[in-house]
C-alpha cells in the first residue's frame, strides 16, 4: 500500500462524526477511512477538559495504530479542549472542526450576529467565540449549551415526530433567534442529524454544520501535503467503537444510508 492509500482517521464520541464520514465518502471517494466512535465515554459534552483530553489521546493512539495518514477530529468538544495538545504530541496532520465552521459563519453573516449551539464544555471553552471573532472582529457571538441533544440523537430520536427533540431545539435556539442572529452554527457534529428540524423551525436563519464545513480544510491540507489518494479506486470505510456496537450499527447505518458493522 502506498502512503497516499493509507486511511484518514476520524474520531468522535459517538455517532456525530459520521456527519464528517458521510461528507468525505461523498466528496473524496478514493479516500479510505478508519472511524472511531468513543461510545463508552459518550457524551463528552458534560466531562471536564482533562477527561476529554485523555479520551482524545486514546482515540488518536488507536487511529495511529491502524496506520492513518492524517486525523480529523470530528468532535467540537475534543477540538475545543484537546487539539493543541494533540498537535504538540503527535507528528501527523490534524484537522479540527471549529475553525472551518467559524470561518464559514463569519463569511455568511450579514448582520454580524451569529449564534452557536454546542455542548456545555465546548461553550464553556469559549473556542467558537474566539475563533469567529478572529475571522470577523466586530461580530457578536451568542452561545448556548444544548445538553439534551447528544443523548437524544445517540438514541436515534432525530425525526420531527420526536417531540422531546423538537422541544429541546426550540428551547435552546429561540433565545438566540430573539437576539437577532442571522446565522447559527451547529457546533457539535451530532446536530446535523437534526438539521431538517432546525431548518423547519427557523427557516430564515443560515445554518452552518461544523462537520461538513471541515471537509474543505481536510481536502486542502491533504492536497498541500501531497497526501491525497488519487488511486481512482473507491475507498473503504471501517468503523470501530469503544462500547456497545448494536445501537451504533442501527442508528449509524440509518444515517449513512448504508449498513455498517462496528468492531
Ligand atoms: N459530537 C461531539 C461534538 O462535536 C461530542 C458530543 C458529545 O459527546 O457530547 O462536540
Determine what percent of the chain is predicted with pLDDT higher than 70.
100
| Residue 213: per-residue pLDDT | 87
**pLDDT tens track for 136-194:** 999 999 999 999 999 999 899 999 999 999 999 999 999 999 999 999 999 999 999 99
Pocket test of ligand 1: the residue of 10, 11, 12 to mutate, having most ligand atoms within 8 Å of its CB, is 12
pLDDT over 90 (residue 212) = no
Q: Compute, in angstroms, the gap from residue 93 CA to the centroid of ligand 1.
A: 21
C-alpha cell at 163: 417531540
Does residue 75 have an active-site annotation? Answer: yes
Residue with cell 477511512: 33
| Residue 250: per-residue pLDDT | 85
Q: Which of 84, 104, 82, 80 is nearest to 210 (CA)?
A: 104
| Residue 158: per-residue pLDDT | 93
What pTM was estimated for this model as a whole? 0.94
pLDDT over 80 (residue 56) = yes
Q: Is the Cβ atom of 42 under 6 angstroms away from ligand 1?
A: yes
Determine what percent of the chain is predicted with pLDDT higher than 90.
87
Q: How confident is the model at residue 247 (pLDDT cuts 50, 70, 90)?
A: confident
Cβ atoms 141, 98 nearer than 8 A: no
Q: Is the Cβ atom of 185 under 6 angstroms away from ligand 1?
A: no
pLDDT over 80 (residue 263) = no
| Residue 255: per-residue pLDDT | 76
Q: Which of 10, 136, 106, 118 is nearest to 62 (CA)?
A: 10
Q: Locate the DSSP E strands across the chain.
A: 8-12, 33-37, 70-73, 94-95, 113-118, 140-145, 183-186, 206-209, 237-241
Q: Is the Cβ atom of 44 under 6 angstroms away from ligand 1?
A: yes
d(CA 91, CA 219): 19
Contacts of 68 (CB under 8 A, 6+ apart): 6, 7, 8, 9, 34, 92
Q: How confident is the model at residue 69 (pLDDT cuts 50, 70, 90)?
A: very high
d(CA 19, CA 36): 13
Pocket test of ligand 1: the residue of 188, 192, 213, 248 to mutate, having most ligand atoms within 8 Å of its CB, is 188
| Residue 111: per-residue pLDDT | 98
Does residue 209 have an active-site annotation? Answer: no
Q: What is the mean pLDDT of the chain?
A: 95
Q: Is the Cβ atom of 75 under 6 angstroms away from ligand 1?
A: yes
| Residue 148: per-residue pLDDT | 97
Amino acid at each position: 500500500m502506498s502512503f497516499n492509500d493509507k486511511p484518514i482517521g476520524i474520531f468522535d464520541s459517538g455517532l456525530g462524526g459520521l456527519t464528517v464520514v458521510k461528507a468525505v465518502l461523498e466528496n473524496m471517494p478514493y479516500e479510505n477511512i478508519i472511524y472511531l466512535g468513543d461510545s463508552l465515554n459518550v457524551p463528552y459534552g458534560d466531562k471536564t477538559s482533562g477527561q476529554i483530553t485523555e479520551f482524545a489521546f486514546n482515540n488518536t493512539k488507536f487511529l495511529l495504530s491502524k496506520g492513518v495518514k492524517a486525523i480529523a477530529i470530528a468532535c467540537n468538544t475534543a477540538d475545543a479542549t484537546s487539539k493543541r495538545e494533540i498537535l504538540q504530541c503527535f507528528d501527523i496532520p490534524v484537522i479540527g472542526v471549529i475553525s472551518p465552521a467559524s470561518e464559514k459563519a463569519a463569511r455568511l453573516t450579514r448582520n454580524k450576529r451569529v449564534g452557536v449551539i454546542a455542548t456545555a464544555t465546548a461553550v464553556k471553552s469559549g473556542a467558537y467565540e474566539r475563533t469567529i471573532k478572529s475571522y470577523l472582529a466586530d461580530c457578536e457571538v451568542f452561545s448556548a449549551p444544548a445538553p439534551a441533544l447528544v443523548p437524544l440523537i445517540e438514541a436515534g430520536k432525530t425525526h420531527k415526530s420526536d417531540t422531546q427533540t423538537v422541544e429541546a431545539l426550540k428551547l435552546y435556539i429561540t433565545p438566540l433567534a430573539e437576539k437577532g442572529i442571522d446565522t447559527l452554527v451547529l457546533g457539535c457534529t451530532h446536530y446535523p442529524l437534526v438539521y431538517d428540524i432546525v431548518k423547519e423551525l427557523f427557516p430564515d436563519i443560515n445554518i452552518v454544520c461544523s462537520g461538513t464545513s471541515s471537509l474543505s480544510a481536510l481536502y486542502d491540507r491533504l492536497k498541500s501535503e501531497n497526501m491525497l489518494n488519487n488511486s481512482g479506486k473507491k475507498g473503504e470505510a471501517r468503523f470501530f467503537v469503544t462500547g456497545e456496537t448494536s445501537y451504533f450499527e442501527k442508528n449509524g447505518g440509518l444515517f449513512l444510508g448504508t449498513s455498517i458493522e462496528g468492531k
